[in-house]
Amino acid sequence: MDNKQKINCTVTSCKYNKNKEQECTLEQIMVTPVQECKTTNPDESMCSSYKYNNQMQ
């Protein structure tokens, strides 16, 4: 049984985003909490695996 999850991404500036399919090409991501943010909403976390795609310019 294959338990791999698919990670969808719409952050076009990230170098790991396969834009046409809106998929993340990393095998795993690091999600970390945003410091001093206690909203109980998704904005409390962020993808720490993000890398800027400097090829977009």
Q: What is the Cα gyration radius of the chain?
A: 13
What is the band of 17 on the pLDDT scale with cuts at 50, 70, 90? Answer: very high
pLDDT digits (tens, 9 = 90+) for 21-50: 999 998 888 889 888 888 888 888 888 888
Q: Is there a domain that residue 5 lies in? A: no
d(CA 37, CA 45): 9
Element (H, E) at 32: strand 31-33
Per the DSSP assignment, residues forming a β-bridge with 32 are 46
Q: In degrees to the nearest 10, what's the CA dihedral of 18, 2, 28, 35? A: 110
Counting the structural domains of the chain, the total is: 1
What is the band of 2 on the pLDDT scale with cuts at 50, 70, 90? Answer: low
pLDDT at 1 over 90: no
Q: Is there a domain that residue 11 lies in? A: no
Q: Is there a domain that residue 10 lies in? A: no
* Global confidence as pTM: 0.65
